[in-house]
Amino acid sequence: MKIIDRLSPNFDARKTPVWFVVLHYTGMKDAETALKRLTDPAPKAGDYPGPWQAPDIDPATPLSRVSAHYVVGEDGTVFRVVDEEHRAWHAGVGSWAGQTDLNACAIGIEIANGGHDYGLPPYPDAQINAVIELVGDILSRRGLLPESVIGHSDIAPARKDDPGEHFPWKRLADAGVAIWPDADGVARIVCKRGDRGEAVHHLHAALSAFGYDAPEDESAKKAQFTETTEAIVRAFQRRFEPDACDGVARDSTMMKLEALVEMIEAGDED
């Protein structure tokens, strides 16, 4: 795989092993704009106009310095922005499988796509093929399992929607570089925001077992389907039920979630 260096000064020392690969969309109009932003040592609002900013923002307002390890362009071109051995700044505040500093333990891949602010355009085949090859190489070199590959919305469900419901997670799973549940189910609602009780407690336990930072219930009776629960269920649906991203847990949601937990637990036993 050919990789082009567009190196960023925005990184620091990595002090923990790599355990995850986090996939993002750039949320900008094209790869070149994203590369400029990810390599900018002193970004200002006026340099990156777009729908994500207030229209009356002062152009001189400093923006956060950000980066990722790789950017995959629309045509499948792969750019290295930060060496894998360094800690890139892509994840922000979030949690997965008990880890709360995902920058420290993950490799971040930004996939050039306008995101929801630009109508969430389809991901081109050439781009997805390049993502599969890149992720496969990372997993192979580092001895990571497919379940190590997660989305930005998985680690920060209340803040982030990327890579979004149009991202072809099943295609990655079919290529062996992500996971997908071998389970179906009906559309009957199991629980939704405002519900309480055993079904919510079971949902929270399964979400936590999969890796999400789900609410910890004092007891099954006191378990409540909160705004946080809804955000996590919606993040799960963006990956595994992209036609129903409403944050309502159905039979199909539970069956897929339980199948995924079983897959991970079986892998841990091997």
Separation of alpha carbons 132 and 134, rounded Å: 6
128 with 113: CB under 8 angstroms?
Answer: no
Is 85 designated active site? no
Topology (CATH level 3) of domain 3-174: Lysozyme-like (3.40.80)
Q: Supply the pLDDT for residue 269.
A: 65
Instruction: Provide mean pLDDT across the span 24-50.
Output: 97
Listed in sequence order, the residues at least 6 apart from 180 whose beta carbon sits closer than 8 Å to its beta carbon are 169, 170, 173, 174, 240
Distance, in Å, from the CA atom of 145 to the CA atom of 172, rounded to the nearest integer, reads 13
Percent of the chain at pLDDT > 90 equals 92
Among 32, 74, 84, 110, which one carries the catalytic annotation? 110
Instruction: Enumerate the β-bridge partners of residue 124.
Output: none
Q: Position 105: which residue type?
A: C
Per residue in 150-189, pLDDT (tens digit) is 999 999 999 999 999 999 999 999 999 999 998 876 678 8
Position with higher pLDDT, 94 vs 55:
94
Residue 270's pLDDT is: 60
Instruction: Write the secondary structure of the chain as one string of H (helix), E (strand) and C (coil).
Output: CCEEECCCCCEEECCCCCCEEEEEECCCCCHHHHHHHHCCCCCEHHHCCCCCCCCCCCCCCECCCCCCCEEECCCCCEEECCCCCEEECCCCCCCECCECCHHHHEEEEEECCCCHHHCCCCCCHHHHHHHHHHHHHHHHHHCCCHHHEEEHHHHCCCCCCCCCCCCCHHHHHHCCCCCCCCCCCCCCEEECCCCECHHHHHHHHHHHHHCCCCCCCCCCCCCECCHHHHHHHHHHHHHHCCCCCCCCEEHHHHHHHHHHHHHHHHHHHC
Give me 37's structure tokens: 């932003």
Residues carrying CATH 1.10.101.10, the chain: 189-269
CATH code of the domain occupying 189-269: 1.10.101.10
Q: Is the pLDDT reported for residue 52 higher than 70?
A: yes
What interhelical angle do 198-210 and 227-240 show, nearest 10? 50
Separation between Cα atoms, residue 223 and residue 8, nearest integer Å: 45
pTM of the model: 0.95
Torsion of CA 44, 49, 50, 51, to 10 degrees: 80
* pLDDT per residue as tens digits for the range 177-233: 999 998 876 678 899 999 999 999 999 999 999 999 999 999 999 999 999 999 999
Considering the chain, tell me which residue range(s) the CATH 3.40.80.10 domain(s) occupy: 3-174
Q: Closest Cα to residue 82, out of 107, 63, 61?
A: 107
Cis peptide before 17 (omega within 30 of 0): no
Q: What is the mean pLDDT of the chain?
A: 96
Kindly report, residue by residue over 243-269, the tens digit of the pLDDT.
Answer: 999 999 999 999 999 999 999 998 766
